[in-house]
Amino acid sequence: MAQRAVWLISHEPRTPLCGTVRFSRRFPTVEKRAKVFNGASYVPVPEDALLLKALLFEFRLLDDDKDFVESRDSCSRINKTSVYGIPVGGEELWPVVAFMKNCMIYASVPLVEQTLCPRPPLISISGVSQGFELLFGIQDFLFLSQKNDAELNSKLNQLPDLLLQTCPFGTLLDANLQNSLDNTNFASVTQPQKQPAWKTGTYKGKPQVSISITEKVKSMQYDKREIADMWQVVGTVTCKCDLEGFMPNVTISLSLPTNGSPLQDILIHPCVTSLDSAILTSNSIGAVDDSAFSGPYKFPFTPPLESFHLCYYTSQVPVPPILGFYRIQEEETQLKITVNLKLHESVKNNFEFCEARIPFYNRGPITHVEYKISFGQLEIFREKNLLIWTIGQKFPKSMEITLSGNITFGTKKHEKQSFDQICIGSTAYVKLHFKIIDYTLTGCYADQHSVQVFASGKPKISTNRKLISSDYYVWNSKAPAPVAYGSLVL
Amino acid sequence: MGSLSREAWAQRLGAFRASPSAFMAGPEGESLGRDLLSGLRSEKLSEQTKVSLLVLSLEFPDQLWPDASVAEAATTSLLDTLDLLSPRPSALRRPLLLAATTALIAGGALGPTSGASGRLLRLLLDLASGRALGRGFGLDSEQRPLQATALECLRELESCQPGLLWSCLGLLRGLLRREAPVQPLSLLLTLVLRNALVARARAGTSLWGLLLGGDLPTGDGSCPWDWTLAGEGDAHLKPQAPCWPAAEKEEGGLAALEPSPEEARELRATVAQLLDASYLLTPVAQAQLLWLLGWGLQGLRGQPPALFKPQLVRLLSTAQLTLLHAVLALKAAFGEALFTAQDEVLLLQRLTVAAQHPALPPPTHLFYLHCLLNFPENCPLGPDGEEATPLLLGPQLCQGLLPNLLHDPMALLARLHLLCLLWAEHEEEERGQLQSLQQYLETLLAGLRQRAALAGGPRTSATLCFQASYLVARCLSGYPTVLTPLTHGLAQLYQTRPALAPHFVDLLSSVGPELGEPLKMVLRHEVVLGTSREGALRWHLQTLAKVVDGEAQSTTLRFLQAAASHCSDWGLQQALLQVCRNLMRAGGGEGLADLLQALAVQLEDPDGRDHARLYYLLLAHLSGHKLGMALGPSLAAPALASSLVAENQGFAAALTVQGAPASTSLRLSVGPRRVHGSSPVLHLQVEALQPLYSLELRFRVEGQVYEPLEMVHVPFLCPDHPARLLPLPLHPRRPAPSHLGVSALYTTPTGLTCHAQLPPLLVNFQDLFLPFPSPSEGTGPSFFDELWASCLPKGAESRVWCPLGPQGLEALVSHHLEPFVVAAQPPISYSVAIHLPPASKLLLRLGDAQVDGVSVALRTDDWTVLPLAGDYIRGLSAAA
């Protein structure tokens, strides 16, 4: 399990090459093995310029999308994973693990320790998951807490040194590149025997543990008889443990109130040492079980130095926090819209912000808006064909607010204007954005007193919670809308 | 050049990186490797610059030091540089070790005869075991990272030369108990152990002693590495080839030998030690450890996979891609021995959860989905190597994995594939659910079509729609309930946006007939009867060219007739003619000739008119077969040549006669002789080796001893039929044997006309023999005497000894001369009269036979035949 090469390519539209290789690294000893293992099916790793062009073509980033090109658009060329066969010099380089994020293509070529003809299934190639892990690691390093291009450049300049540490011969030793950076900075620390490889030094200072629970709620609401509304909570528990000693032990318990919704689909950080099997088996995909495990969820672990995600979970709460209705009536020259939002009584009515965005796609520019709202303010962004209804910090006492209006559009000037693939015809949505501090929809909390720390000194323990909306859609009930299979009422 | 400045080096490295091959071909290329090595010792360069030089050598050693001897020298130089460093801490030691290892391996210099290999291995082992650490090799603070690096370098050497370090097993195991960096040591030990287990199975050696072995040997002569297992050249890398340890596969691999109880115990202890400490490794390193141990222990007796069990709960709970992947590898390696049916369910559930967990990035989702469809089940049912949903994963569990329109294209296709597989697999059961699945599938495809129909939409949405249609057609080709609505949906899409014609053509070329045939029909209907909108003609013609066939020609022709008046530019005219071409291939038709004739006059562009005229001529003059061939794609033309070139080559191939080797088409020989009629007749035996049409055989007589021969025609010959006899009458100008040159002209089933030169046929002297009209009963002897007397004085007379075989005279005569005997007293004497066309006779008297031969008196009125007759008679007994 090793990588033969790795590249970072930035997409730069409207430049002659449409992109630049920002970083590349080859591993010749692995290449040597590839030549032997792959035998007659061996395809050498190409030079950067060749790969740049081939990858940009594969990702449809060259600026010529106009005509049908068989080698790219043929219906039988179906890729179902982020692993590609890239044509270079008349042959096909495979497997190339590649994905795009933040205008940057991350790519690597894992070693396959057998012949490539016939192609073995990806599941049997150990280097594939390693390639992903390496690329995710690089991505995290480059983009976590990165603010501008200068910072990105300086991080890119650090990469050769970092890979020398974490991937000296193409075999990844640690996907956490930041870790290695700290390691090189603190090389003078002599490590005792049982120091974990993922913890490169020890903390000196005031002991403290902070735990934050962030829940994101997403929803699809249709207001239709034959389609069920859908909503889901996704939680992330982030920890930062500043504790002295090289192997401090910590146990954190997450608890639910008596009427709380059980946590499901729990994914745990690898530093957690042991686990109640009920945590492992509670998932959202099996049959619904009334006797579902509802905590407390105990996680004993030895923390790494940096801040880390202790666990992720999902949950199915009984009601969505805000229930919405959206109706559009098309009249000759204008659209008549009605939006109705209702906050559920069990939800904390104290937002950091709350707004509803109402976009209009595939239409000409907004020329005129008449509206009536029961609460909040409405802003109109004509050039973006967007209305923003700012609700503010609180819903009114009735918990229910309404917007109705008539919108007139001009004629559509060019095809690309406010284009959208989903909102065709009267298909349209209102998207809600809100955030509530010190609140979780599941009720999940980390009790300060239940945090056990086995380390010198009594640490200060701080906890915080928040609820954020994410992909919270209310669809026009008078038109078709994209539906997930689970929402069909059978 | 050794004294290059920092800036000069930076510039050089930049130029090299931009295009290594171009740089190496340039003037500076040759000296780069040398300069780099001397640069490392230069006192003017900073450590940072030197590190950048080393990083370059880590990436491109094969360009810098391309062959083994140069690589050996470079490694030695790098090691010297390392020795020359002052004892102060230096950032160069680590990269120097890495560079030396890389140069040695990449240059192919690693081997028992290489001095540098020995030197590097000794240094690395010393560093790894902590023994070099008192020798002023850096300060204490630097020693631990160096130890780790040395272990990494050893691991790379072992990876590229498996078995190299197997005798160090005991040493490494001992280090694990002491204060050594746990991760690199665990990984090295695991790799060496795995390779040793592979080698053990092959060589039958015991690991026990090795596992218990102690420290490094201290004597100067002995070395702790071993080239014997490492084998020659690169061959050693092959045996590990199977990437994926498959549980049920042959026991033979690693399991061939049962370990002794002591060996098994030590091995178990070592594995347990490694697994217990695995928690201290980074997740990616843990995954490597598990893969290697899974490989090594698979099927090995006395090593219960239960050793892995304590790790599983921890591993299954994480979201780490590499860890979950490693668990799948263990699953594949050990199957039921490690995962009970309940464990399997749990693992599947975890995978299903991970494949849709909102906290994980999309590429991970897709990879887990791939893992689900290739899941190593305990009891797999389907065929090996095909994607399928695991048995335990029903539609209920997969609900969250089904596609919807909000997914990005790749996720949508992956999930759509799952949906199709579910549908196909559960078709028998669960009617109700299936119906809803089908409805859902239809809605989804309709949504995709609606998107694709959007004018001004990006190409990707069209591509996605057709990819989805293709996927459904491929997975569910046997289900008309799915394909029928799909066909109509696509027809509707075409109606709304004919500009998608290239996608339709591509789809029709890719799918099987289950979707292809009905789709062709509705599209044809759509084109020829639909309302032709402005600007869509180009697309209609493109589509029609793909979908025309022999049916419903009148409407198609009407459409073309109407379209012709709108075909103002060259491109449109060509598209129109392309449809005509394809119509001709599909079976012509009367109306088509009229249309082509009209086009030959009506089209504006002279090229178009010429083509129309040519097509008309072809249609009027060539048979269906030949027409198909003439218009078919030319095999000779490269794929990229323009259509016109390809077309012309097609015509050329079809309309000219091709040379063909005789051996591939037919065999010709002379059959048994039959004597009758007024002229000699050869009976040719023709045997076809492939179906031949309109065969024409042409003959040329050598020496013009016969009149020119008529051609022989055979309308059809088939290899399965028994050989036919073809009579070929000869009209000799004089009675002499000869050769006939033969050539064949025929048409192949593909419509090509071929010409083949066949081996010449021999016409023997006796082939020309004809009998005299038989005299009436009883007058034979007097008739013969008259003939006998008439030969002289103009002719010639001779006497020939004819050897006889064991059968005697009677047999000889009946065998060769029967038809020509005029008078006889069997078995004593025979009178033979032979007519040799055009006007000669040959008379033989055979009698007074001895034991070994008979004396033959012969007369002829043509002295030229005398030597031929003599030869013939002397050869008779041999021919018998």
Q: What is the pLDDT of residue A20?
A: 93
Give the mean pLDDT of chain B.
83
Instruction: Tell me the per-residue pLDDT of B335-374, one tens digit each, with 9 for 90 and over.
Output: 888 888 888 998 999 999 999 999 999 999 999 999 999 9
Q: Which residues of B touch A129 (CB under 8 A)?
A: 287, 321-322, 324-326, 367
Q: Residue B775: pLDDT band by 50, 70, 90 thresholds?
A: confident
Higher pLDDT: B811 or B413? It is B413
Q: What is the DSSP letter of B849?
A: -
Written as six digits, the tokens of B146 are 């160096």
Pair type for strands A377-381 and A429-437:
unpaired
Q: Are A227 and A488 in contact (CB under 8 A)?
A: yes
Contact A192 B179 (CB under 8 A): yes
Using a CB–CB cutoff of 8 Å, tell me whether B66 touches chain A.
no
Outline which parts of chain A fall under CATH 2.60.40.1170.
208-319+441-473, 322-438
Rounded distance between C-alpha atoms, residue B667 and residue B719, angstroms: 11
Q: Which residue's entry shows tokens 């066949």? A: B758
Q: Which residues on A lie below 8 Å from B291 (Cβ)? A: 1, 126
Q: Is the pLDDT of residue B647 over 80?
A: no
B233 in reach of chain A (CB within 8 A)? no
Say yes or no: B68 contacts chain A, CB-CB below 8 A: no
The mean pLDDT of B89-104, rounded to a whole number, is 92
3-state SS assignment for residue B156: helix
DSSP codes, B310-339:
HHHHHHHHB--HHHHHHHHHHHHHHGGGT-
Q: Are B297 and B305 in contact (CB under 8 A)?
A: yes
* pTM score of the predicted model: 0.81
Section B680-693 average pLDDT: 85
Dihedral of CA atoms A125, A130, A131, A132 in degrees, nearest 10, equals: 110
Query: Which residue shows structure tokens 């089908």?
Result: B438
Element at B664 (helix H, strand E): helix B662-665
Contact call for B404 and A482, based on CB within 8 A: yes
> Residue B856's beta-bridge partner residues?
B800, B846
- Cα(B95)–Cα(B103) distance, integer angstroms: 12
Choice between B263 and B515, residue whose per-residue pLDDT is larger: B515
Taking the Cβ of residue A288 and every Cβ of chain B, the question of whether any pair is shorter than 8 Å is answered with no
Say whether domain A322-438 belongs to CATH 2.60.40.1170.
yes
Q: What is the DSSP string of B471-538?
A: HHHHHTTT-HHHHHHHHHHHHHHHHH-GGGHHHHHHHHHHS-HHHHHHHHHHHHHHHHHS---TT-HH
Nearest CB to B440: which of A2, A236, A485? A485
Mean pLDDT over all residues of chain A?
A: 89
Q: What single-letter DSSP state applies at residue B379?
A: S
**Looking at the predicted structure, is the pLDDT value of residue B225 above 60?**
yes
Count the residues in chain B.
880
pLDDT of A55 reads 94
Residue A330, chain B, CB below 8 Å: the answer is no
What confidence score (pLDDT) does residue B444 get?
94
Just give the CATH number of A208-319+441-473: 2.60.40.1170
Chain B segment 550-569 residues within 8 A of A by beta carbon are none
Q: Are B64 and B74 in contact (CB under 8 A)?
A: yes
- Which of A45, A129, A134, A184 to mutate to probe the B interface, most B CBs <10 Å? A129
Look at residue B454 and tell me whether its pLDDT is greater than 90: no
Residue of B nearest to A119 (CA): B385
Interface test with A, best of B53, B236, B320, B322 (most A CBs within 10 A): B322
Quick check: B575 pLDDT over 60?
yes
Q: For A348-385, how does the pLDDT look when each residue is reduced to its tens digit (9 = 90+)?
A: 999 999 999 999 998 888 999 999 999 999 999 988 88
| CA pair distance B872, B768, nearest whole angstrom | 12
Rounded CA gap, A110 and B284, in Å?
14
Structure tokens at B113: 């005869």
Closest CA to B745 of B684, B683, B699, B685: B699
Q: Cβ contact (<8 Å) for B179 and A113?
A: no
User: Closest residue of B to A168, CA-based?
Assistant: B98
Closest CB to A29 among B105, B358, B405: B105
Q: Are B573 and B541 in contact (CB under 8 A)?
A: no
**Contact: B470, A78; criterion CB under 8 Å:** yes
Interchain CB distance below 8 Å, B281 and A2: no
Give the span between the Cα atoms of A61 and A65, in whole angstroms. 8
Q: How confident is the model at residue B231 (pLDDT cuts 50, 70, 90)?
A: low
The three-state secondary structure class of A429 is strand
Where are the CATH 3.30.450.60 domain residues in chain A? 3-183
Q: List alpha helices for A282-320, DSSP H.
A: none
Q: What is the pLDDT of residues A400-449, one digit of tens each?
A: 999 999 999 888 776 556 788 888 889 999 999 999 999 999 999 998 88
Distance CA B425, CA B441 (A): 15
| pLDDT score, position B135 | 53
- Calpha distance B188→B158 (Å, rounded): 8
> Angle, to 10 degrees, between the axis of helix B93-106 and the axis of helix B140-160?
10
CA atoms within 13 A on the CB side of A177: 23
- In angstroms, the CA A433 to CA B339 distance is 45
B590 or A442, higher pLDDT: A442
- How confident is the model at residue B304, as a pLDDT? 75
B106 — contact with chain A (CB < 8 Å)? yes
What is the pLDDT, as a whole number, of residue B222?
A: 58
Residues 6+ apart with CB under 8 A from A415: B455, B456
CA distance B534 to B572: 13
Token digits of residue B105? 């391996």
- CA B792 and chain centroid, separation: 78
Phi-psi region of A180 (alpha: psi -120 to 50; beta: other; left: phi over 0): alpha
What tokens does B615 get?
A: 């097509």
Task: Write out B448-459 in H/E/C secondary structure.
Answer: HHHHHCCCCCCH
Is B340 in the A-facing interface, judged by CB distances under 8 Å? no
Report which of A138, A121, A119 is spatially closest to residue A130, judged by C-alpha positions: A138
- Residue A424 to residue B155, Cβ atoms within 8 A: no
Spatial separation of the C-alpha atoms in residues B789 and A107, rounded to whole Å: 107
Q: What is the mean pLDDT of residues A126-144?
A: 93
The pLDDT of residue B880 is: 54
Listed residue (B499, B509, B506) closest to B537, CA to CA: B499
Short-list B350, B420, B354, B356, CA closest to B392: B350
Which tops the pLDDT comparison, B878 or A199?
A199
pLDDT at B302: 67
Q: What are phi and psi of B559, to 5 degrees?
A: -60, -45
Residues B672 and B816: their CA atoms lie apart, in Å, by 12
**In angstroms, rounded to a whole number, what is the distance separating the alpha carbons of residues B321 and A172?**
13
CA nearest B392 in A: which residue? Answer: A286
- Partners of residue A265 in chain B, C-beta under 8 Å: 353, 357
Tell me the residues of chain A between 422 and 451 that have a Cβ less than 8 Å away from chain B.
422, 424
When computed from its CA atoms, the radius of gyration of chain A, rounded to whole angstroms, is: 27
From the candidates B62, B160, B284, which should be mutated to test the interface with A, based on the most A CB atoms within 10 A? B284
Residues 358-377 of B with CB under 8 A from A: 358-364, 366-367, 369-371, 374-376
pLDDT at position A453, please?
Answer: 92
Residue B852 confidence (pLDDT) above 90: no
The percentage of residues in chain B with a pLDDT greater than 90, rounded to a whole number, is 25
Task: Considering only residues B871 and A108, tell me which one the structure prediction assigns the higher pLDDT.
Answer: A108
In this structure, are residues B85 and B93 in contact, taking their beta carbons and an 8 Å threshold?
Answer: yes
Q: Does residue A187 register a pLDDT over 50?
A: no
**A with B: how many residue pairs have Cβ under 8 Å apart?**
348
B332 touching chain A per CB within 8 A = yes
CATH architecture of the domain A3-183 equals 2-Layer Sandwich (3.30)
Is the CB of B406 inside 8 Å of chain A's CB atoms? yes
CA distance B437 to B149: 56
Reported as a single tens digit per residue, the pLDDT across A57-94 is: 999 888 777 788 888 889 999 999 999 999 988 899 99
Cα B45 off chain centre by: 54
B485-531 pLDDT, tens digit per residue, is: 999 999 999 999 999 999 999 999 999 999 999 999 999 888 887 76
C-alpha radius of gyration, chain B, whole number: 44
The rounded distance, in Å, linking the Cα atoms of B684 and B158 is 74
Residues B24, B21: Cα–Cα separation, whole Å: 5
CA B240 to chain A, closest CA, distance in angstroms equals 8
Residue B581 above 50 pLDDT?
yes
Q: Which residues pair with A217 in a beta bridge?
A: A233, A469
Condensed to tens digits (0 to 9), the pLDDT of residues B301-334 reads 766 788 888 888 888 888 889 999 999 999 988 8
This complex has an ipTM of 0.95
* Contact status, residue A110 vs residue A3, Cβ threshold 8 Å: yes
